[in-house]
Structure 1
Amino acid sequence: MSEKIKINKQATIEKGKKGFFGLVYGRTAVVVLLLVLQVIILMAGFFWLGEYMYYIYGGVTALAVLLVLFIINKRENPAFKLVWIILILLVPVFGAMLYLFVELQIGTKWMNARIQKLHQQMRRYTVQDQVVAQNLERENQQVAHLANYINRFGGYPAYQNTSAKFFPIGEDKFKEMVIQLEKAEKFIFLEYFIIHEGYMLNTVVDILKKKVKQGVEVRFMYDGMCSLALMPYRYPEELEKYGIQCRMFSPVKPALSTHQNNRDHRKVLVIDGRVAFTGGVNLADEYINQKVRFGHWKDTAIMIEGDAVRSFTLMFLEMWNLDKYKVIEDYDKYLSVNFQKTPDAGDGFVIPYGDNPLDREPVGELVYMDILNTANRYVHIMTPYLVLDNEMMTALTYAAKRGVEIIIIMPHIPDKWYAFVLAKTYYNELLDAGVHIYEYTPGFVHAKGFISDDVKAVVGTINLDFRSLYLHFEDAVYMYKNSAVADVERDFQETLKKCQKITQEDYKKQKLFNKLAGRVLRLLAPLM
């Protein structure tokens, strides 16, 4: 054996050891171990109270009946109600105690109260410009009504004088992102769901370090789920050494708490208040096909420039200050921007919006449903996941039944086996109604988008699943008669050429185990 081979073999062994010990002794293992320990302690409590269990069981059973009545009359999606009712009736003691644990979470209630307070502080910055509202009313009353809903219940107005640039692949977004970061003069705000060390993240961080030295204010926020496996827990402290303000949103902690289920799934970049990016692309190499995972990674993104950037600036500042109760942000400092942009006929109307899982207002889902319910010719959809509640299933099938062309592009190579077999349980009903389903044969579709009738499009972070529509913080850009709508539809048609159409026969050919697994998982779909 040559010396070089020996060295490579030893390096591989050392890398394996490092990975093994990192897994066993790392933060992820500690968090999981402590969570399991808490469950064991709770179970031990039941055994310890064994002699009183007859009375306890009787009392809890009565409580379970009351909880079922409460749940039935609660304002909540029926799918969530069904899961809880089944759990409580099957295992009254465990189900009732778990439901009370979830409902009485102080952390979630505090977070929602804080968001509502921040919303009130920002309301004077999100007042709808009446000239824009009147222009939209003249163009299309239905879209004007949707814009009114998004502003009233989401807190985001409609804008004109905003151009949009669509990116049909992550590599294109990254290239433009680097160009715009290099132009930064005042501030850079970054908010991402996933970051992972590699070419993409390192390139961005190197630019941020340089910009800080030039006097640019940099704030960098990413979801705390990354701390489990992707990033060192103290990574924010590393960036702080270079003058980059950095924090994790809701770091995962070894304590049973439901608010940790509400993740920050947004992907937002704001530069100087003049340009903003969003879409499906996170800061990790697979999103730009620098690293191969699940075949070719198909993703999309959008960059806006002009008045509508204002909403993304406010959206970021709201999340940044979420855990700082006494902080009062100087919003004017970041909103006093001279856009130096002249209105263009192709600008149309642009509405950036966010969705908050704690306010019980499903803005993301209702925008999608509005597009489905008002479409005349077609609605074209890209989504990596398909876990539908009854409302969305009804909207999709009804649109197809009334003659609207509904096409959904899904991955052919999934990133999560369980999500894929679950998605396929919806195929049969959709196909029966006339919905067309295609799978992207080169690999994985991570893009999230709706396009309709050549005039409407949504590009953002919102998947067609319960987590995006009900449990995560999300964002998107709604465009009406903006020139970028045509680019989104053009990309859809080009992607369609690389897809295979799914038929009833394909659905029937699934392995029996996958069919059974999907059916079982569907019972738990609202929790996935």
Structure 2
Amino acid sequence: MAEKTKRHRNKKKRDKAILRPRKHSLINRTFLTQGAITLLLILIQIAFIVLAVIYLINEFILIMMLIDFILVLVVIFAILRRPGDISYKIAWITTVAILPVFGSLLYVWVRMFPNTKIIIKRYNKRIEETKEVLPQNVEIVKRMKEDYPTYGGVFAALYEQTAAPVNANQKLTHYKVGEDAYPYMLEALENAKEFVFLEYFIIAGGKMFGEIIEILRRKVKEGVEVRLIYDGLNHLTSVPRNYHRHLRKTGIKVKVFAPLSSSVSPYQNNRDHRKLFIVDGKVAFTGGINLADEYINEIDRFGYWKDTVVKIEGDAVNTMTAQFLQMWSILGKDRKKPMELEKYMRENKVEEEINNYLVPYIDLPDNKMAISEQLFVSQIAQAHKYVHVFTPYLVMSESLRKEIIFAAKRGLEVIIIMPSTPDKRLPFWVARSYYKKLIKEGVQIYEYTPGFMHAKATITDDEFVNTGSVNYDFRSLFLNYENGIIVADKDYAKTVEADFQECLEQSLKISEKEIKEFPWWQKVMGRIGRIFGTLF
């Protein structure tokens, strides 16, 4: 019985033992099967998600590439359609091609942002108002066309765009360097009785500007109206940001052109590069110099500073006065006020007989006529003996470069004097990147060895001179506000040409040998700068 019970108990144990594994096996298999299925489903889900993401990414990329391609095409088409120099267009197209989205958006932003257009529209309105006060002198135009049949038309054409009439019998004095002109500028200020208008790209503390400010303070106390316009970049480089407020406390009326601000606008790329020095509407100075010590060689920055100044006496001063007031009237709150041109116009008849014609001109950014460029091209195209150029920079437009080369091909003596010591390295390297081609085509390039050549003048045939603030570069030709005078005057032209010849004797003629010795990395930087340097 006991044995039977023991067998039964063992049987039950065995049964349990047998049942337990079977039961456990069934559960385990069920669990494994469900886990496998779940795992499989998860893997399928992950695979599906991965495939979907890859598909969507590919679709997104394809869509973005398509949008990008269309955007680039539209922008390039817009660039090509827009009037302008081919080098400028190539620079934009290259930028868009390398950085499609950024380049396209940058171009749209620059072209569509209204600030520059608003300012230009405002300025053009003032030009139209000026025509009511400064009419073109038909008799002078007729006489000039008889004396200079082709140039007469060029001079007269400036009136439509700039309200600058042709003037005759103007007294001109050429100063070879800033320190020669400076005493006469101070003398003019000391003799001021009614008003002084100054507009300059650069002002900086030191002897020159300090002495000018001292005289202006005294003149304000004497009842002379004093106005000063300077470019806003000076707040970054040479004067405190609140400097204009300090000057206003002395009674000097001051305006800052395009002061630097936290807001980013394309119009900040357009600077006031003009140089106007006007006293009582009777005498004016313009040229390359600004109001800082290096321009009168009081300090040495880049070796000897070579610049030129022209003093103007006669009716042309009225035009320059109007040009100052045009700029003044578009800045700040005065843009809604009349210019009061009549108040500042003066009779300026020159006593002596001088056989010449003169037009003080201005140029604006984004000007479809590209006045400065057209004047240079016209002057060079009509030359029949020589073309001599002072310039600190040489990043020419395609049209100007072709005309320079064609003049050499026509057998004219074409000489350009550049600095040997640059004030800005990259533009200098870019300029040198053009030397080889120009020299090969017959253009002679010289570099002024005493130091920095900052003079800006184009002399042709001992008859015509174009001088002022305009450089042979894209910034002057297309981006900045500029001023200058174009003159038909044999005596004045010969004086400026004599100055040119003196500089030539102090300059090194550049040949292919010198070009080969330029550092290779400067050549590389120059070539790269040629592509993008036209934009900024």
TM-score range, shorter chain: 0.7 to 0.9
> 2:382 is matched with which residue?
374
Is 2:154 aligned against 1:152?
A: no
Give the SS at the match of 1:527. Answer: coil
What amino acid sits opposite 2:337 in the alignment?
V
Structure 1 counterpart of 2:83, from 70, 75, 100 = 75
Contact 1:61 1:93 in 2 (8 A): no
> 2:21 is matched with which residue?
none
User: Aligned-pair distance for 1:95?
Assistant: 1.4
User: Aligned-pair distance for 1:320?
Assistant: 0.7
Deviation string for 1:34-63 (max 9, x for gaps)?
xxxxxxxxxxxxxxxxx9776455423322
**4+ runs deviating over 4 angstroms:** 51-57
What amino acid sits opposite 2:104 in the alignment?
A
Structure 1 counterpart of 2:444, from 424, 436, 459 = 436
> 1:309 is matched with which residue?
317
Q: Distance in 2 between matches of 1:105 and 1:80?
A: 19
> 2:16 is matched with which residue?
none
What amino acid sits opposite 1:97 in the alignment?
L
> 1:513 is matched with which residue?
521
> 1:450 is matched with which residue?
458
User: Aligned-pair distance for 1:228?
Assistant: 0.8
> 1:325 is matched with which residue?
335
What amino acid sits opposite 1:197 in the alignment?
G
User: Aligned-pair distance for 1:175?
Assistant: 1.1
- The alignment's TM-score, normalised by the length of structure 1, stands at 0.88
Q: Distance in 2 between matches of 1:104 and 1:477?
A: 32
Larger deviation, residues 482-491 vs 388-397: 482-491
Q: Distance in 2 between matches of 1:177 and 1:457?
A: 22
> 2:409 is matched with which residue?
401
> 2:348 is matched with which residue?
339
> Residues 213 and 482 (structure 1 numbering): CA distance in 2 closer, same or farther, change over 3 Å?
farther
What amino acid sits opposite 1:327 in the alignment?
K
> 2:40 is matched with which residue?
none
Q: Distance in 2 between matches of 1:104 and 1:56?
A: 23
Q: Distance in 2 between matches of 1:247 and 1:219?
A: 8
Contact 2:127 2:162 in 1 (8 A): no
Q: Distance in 1 between matches of 2:84 and 2:417?
A: 29
Q: Distance in 2 between matches of 1:346 and 1:120?
A: 30
Is 2:169 aligned against 1:139?
A: no
> Residues 482 and 235 (structure 1 numbering): CA distance in 2 closer, same or farther, change over 3 Å?
farther
Aligned-residue Cα RMSD (Å) equals 1.7
> 1:219 is matched with which residue?
227
Is 2:112 aligned against 1:104?
A: yes
Q: Distance in 2 between matches of 1:340 and 1:133?
A: 17
Q: Distance in 1 between matches of 2:142 and 2:76?
A: 47
Q: What pairs up with 1:46-445 in 2 under 5 angstroms? A: 55-323=63-331, 324-335=334-345, 337-339=346-348, 341-342=350-351, 344-445=352-453
User: Aligned-pair distance for 1:116?
Assistant: 1.7
Contact 2:92 2:535 in 1 (8 A): no
Contact 1:450 1:458 in 2 (8 A): yes
> Residues 482 and 187 (structure 1 numbering): CA distance in 2 closer, same or farther, change over 3 Å?
farther
User: Aligned-pair distance for 1:131?
Assistant: 1.2
Larger deviation, residues 258-267 vs 505-514: 505-514
Q: Distance in 2 between matches of 1:490 and 1:192?
A: 28
Q: Distance in 1 between matches of 2:349 and 2:89?
A: 51
> 2:532 is matched with which residue?
524
For structure 1, the residue ranges without an aligned partner over 5 or more in a row are: 1-50
Q: Distance in 1 between matches of 2:397 and 2:125?
A: 30
Larger deviation, residues 468-477 vs 357-366: 357-366
Q: Distance in 2 between matches of 1:67 and 1:416?
A: 32
User: Aligned-pair distance for 1:286?
Assistant: 0.4
User: Aligned-pair distance for 1:482?
Assistant: 5.2
Deviation string for 1:166-197 (max 9, x for gaps)?
11000011111001111111000000000000
Give the SS at the match of 2:142. Answer: helix
User: Aligned-pair distance for 1:161?
Assistant: 2.6
Contact 1:154 1:354 in 2 (8 A): yes
Give the SS at the match of 2:120. Answer: helix
Q: Distance in 2 between matches of 1:240 and 1:207?
A: 15
User: Aligned-pair distance for 1:242?
Assistant: 1.0
Contact 1:164 1:347 in 2 (8 A): no
Q: Distance in 1 between matches of 2:267 and 2:355?
A: 39
Give the SS at the match of 1:231. Answer: coil
Give the SS at the match of 1:118. Answer: helix
User: Aligned-pair distance for 1:340?
Assistant: 5.1
For structure 2, the residue ranges without an aligned partner over 5 or more in a row are: 1-58
**How high is the sequence identity, in percent, across the aligned residues?**
37
> 1:23 is matched with which residue?
none
